[in-house]
Structure 1
Amino acid sequence: MDAKALDDIGRVPHGGATDPGVIDFSANTNPETPSGVTAVYDSALSASGRYPADDYVAFRAAAADYVDCAPPEVIPTAGAMAGMRLLFAVALDDGDSAVIPEPSFGEYAREVRLQGGRPMPVAHDEVLDVDPAEHALVVVCTPNNPTGELVDRDRLLRLAARCRDAGTTLFVDEAFLDFTSQPSLAGEPGVVVARSLTKMFGLPGLRAGFLVATGRIRDRLDRGRLPWGLSTPAAAVGTHCLRRTEFVERTRDRVAAERERVRERLATEWEVYSSDAPFLLFDAGRDGPDAILEVARERGIVLRDARSFPRLDNHLRTAIRRPRENDRLLDALGV
């Protein structure tokens, strides 16, 4: 980490409300969790008086089945953020440039700078066309946050091939890919994939996730990861969740149906972006974000102010929750 960078790099704003009296549409996490999580957690907690086994055999096997890769290619991490920091530390040297999409997840630029790298912003819908030979790292988020669109897989594979030829690491953030039917790029040579248990399984506080990589970069990530980087409860609950395929399918169907219903209602008043993710981005129009945020808050609804994302100046983002909660959102917004 570049110690000098810490003097002028602040925190990145995120969604998430702590007030239990509101419905939080600002964070894109599943409001439901798989059955059996509490029992698994309690059992694992009782075993936490000793260090976890650092090979994480069961977690790696479950994660490998989930994304269709080989278990040794899985690098357990305390959430996708921890995995991203590990990768950027391994892939970037001082002064290296890294392509990052905009608007997209705000932590990309911050983490590049913390490692002494130079973030090179590119419009999110133009990232697949960059020349990777000029950069040490290229970042792709699919579906992209906050715009919501899924990246074309064939074009992504062509970018991966160009990155391999150039010796450039391609980092693919698949935090929301669970909500689509598109296969993961896990196991693709030269590509490092990040996955999170936060979004699909509704467990942001658990801090469980993983990277997938092959070859030399996989070996370097495995050597560089922290020992016991995944707690015993996180590993056990993560393994349990990754095996709940019916829960994933049921959630995916619910989100798809509700997303379209909410989109149609919001579109009667505002311009709404097409989305493959469990959220919708919309332009606040003449009302402006502040007026809409205030009205929503008065009615117990918290939306995400998307003006904190680069290139967005009049936008809000809303998560897709359960039908009755989405009804509350639509009623609060008067659509």
Structure 2
Amino acid sequence: MDADSVDAVDRVPHGSDDSVDLDLSANCNPFAPDGARAAYDRAFDASRTYPRDDYPAFRRAAADYVGCDPGRVVPTPGGLAAIRLAVGVTVAPGDSALVPYPSFGEYAREVRLQGGVPEFVPHADLLDADPDGRALAVICAPNNPTGDLPDPDRLDAFLDRCRAAGTPLLADEAFLDFTDRPSLAGADGVIVARSLTKVFGLPGLRAGFAVADGRLGERLRTAVPAWALGTPAARVGARCMREEAFVRETRRRVARERERLREGLARHFEVSPSDAPFLLCDVGSDPAPLLAALRERGIALRDATTFRGLDSHVRVAVRTEGATDRLLDALAEVDGVLD
């Protein structure tokens, strides 16, 4: 991190609101694997000593989960820590990085903390951008907050251009678990950032990992802090990544409920197509009155105007049938109030 840049960098807004009883602002699974709590409890005694810094069980589980060699896995305390690590080993003061928008605001923040310059590109056009001369290019798959996946052929062509230019590609796959798209983990010239927060419904656990090969992998392994992952996170994370049936069922449930939610929201707003556990809605005007009216009814949506390039949008998490019904009922009430 560049010390001279820290004072000029702000925090980034995020979802998650514990002050309401239906939080649809954060995109986490409302369910967790059955064995997660027991694995957490069993980790207590082992937590009284330092964990093995090579995390063999976690790395094997992660490697099997994304389809790469365990030696390429670098455990981190969450996906954002993997992103920070990736930017830290690629971007130096004065460097530029290709950053999509609207997308996760932490990409630009991390580039700036390194003293770099984020070069913003519309996320739909990023795969057509020229990576030559950039220290890093970033993609989010599926993109947050729009929810769409990059076209595979365009992504392959862009990755080829990144390799030719010597520009590493950071692929944030925090929501890829909700799709059947294969990971880029282990691909030459790519750093993959993964989070166990979303699909396993454990945001407070802070477990994730980065994957890279060759020189990029060596730099990640050198730069990652010692004991980066706590013992409970390592034990629970390894257990969760073995729960293949849970992941399959989550994908089916989310796809089914996302379509039902989309149909209901489309009666009120313009809704973007999504492969993720959330939907982006254009409400047509400043969403503040809508957000306030829903909050009075105990429901929080994500104010998506905090994403670069959006000024009339909200993001809605896909949760359960009951959550969908409650939101749609509330929107019917709110329509009458706000008209």
TM class by shorter chain equals over 0.9
**Within 1, Cα distance between the matches of 2:155 and 2:77?**
27
| 1:285 maps onto 2:284 in alignment | yes
Structure 2: runs of 5+ lacking an equivalent:
none
Q: Which amino acid aligns with 1:317?
A: R
CA distance in 1, matches of 2:256, 2:98: 34
Counterpart position of 2:116: 117
Match of 2:43 in 1: 44
Distance of 1:321 and 1:285 partners within structure 2: 24
Poorly superposed stretches of 4+, deviation over 4 Å: none
Q: Which residue of 1 aligns with 2:34?
A: 35
Structure 1: distance between partners of 2:325 and 2:18: 21
Counterpart for residue 97 of structure 2: 98
Instruction: Write the distance in 2 (CA, Å) between the matches of 1:270 and 1:89.
Output: 40
- Structure 1 Cα separation of the partners of residues 199 and 278 of structure 2: 12
- Alpha-carbon distance in 2 for matches of 1:158, 1:34: 37
Q: Corresponding residue for 1:302?
A: 300
Say whether the 8 Å CA contact 1:180–1:277 is kept in structure 2. yes
**Distance in structure 2 (CA, Å) of the matches to 1:196 and 1:153:** 22
Q: Once the 2 structures are TM-superposed, how far is the Cα of residue 86 of structure 1 from its aligned partner?
A: 1.0
Alignment check: 8 A CA contact 1:295 1:333 kept: no
Q: Partner of 1:9 in structure 2?
A: 9
Percent identical among aligned pairs is 59
User: Shift in Å at residue 101 of structure 1?
Assistant: 0.3
CA distance in 1, matches of 2:269, 2:169: 35
* Counterpart mapping for 1:63-142 below 5 A: 63-142=62-141
What is the alpha-carbon distance in structure 1 between the residues aligned to residue 320 and residue 103 of structure 2?
A: 25
Equivalent-residue separation in structure 2 for 1:233 and 1:260 (angstroms): 35
Query: Does the CA contact (< 8 Å) of 1:172 and 1:193 recur in 2?
Result: yes
Q: Which amino acid aligns with 1:83?
A: A
- Identify the match of residue 310 of structure 2 among 309, 312, 319: 312
**Aligned amino acid, residue 315 of structure 1:** H
* Structure 1 residues 237-252: aligned runs within 5 Å: 237-252=236-251
Hey, what does 2:218 align to over in structure 1? 219
Q: TM-score, normalised by structure 1?
A: 0.98
Q: Does 1:332 align with 2:326?
A: no
Distance in 2 between residues matched to 1:308 and 1:245, nearest whole Å: 35
Q: Distance in 1 between matches of 2:155 and 2:322?
A: 37
Quote the offset at 1:322 in angstroms.
0.9
Structural RMSD (CA): 1.0
SS at match of 2:328: helix
Alignment size in residue pairs: 333
Per-residue deviation, 1:28 = 0.5
The offset of 1:87, in angstroms, is: 1.1
**Letter paired with 1:28:** N
Residues 15-72 of structure 1: CA distance to partner in whole angstroms, max 9, x if unpaired?
Answer: 00122x4210000011100001111011112211100001111101100111101110
Distance 1:154 1:247 in 2: 30
Q: TM-score, normalised by structure 2?
A: 0.97
Letter in 1 for 2:16: G
- Say whether the 8 Å CA contact 1:104–1:124 is kept in structure 2: yes
Q: Which runs of 5+ in 1 are unaligned?
A: none
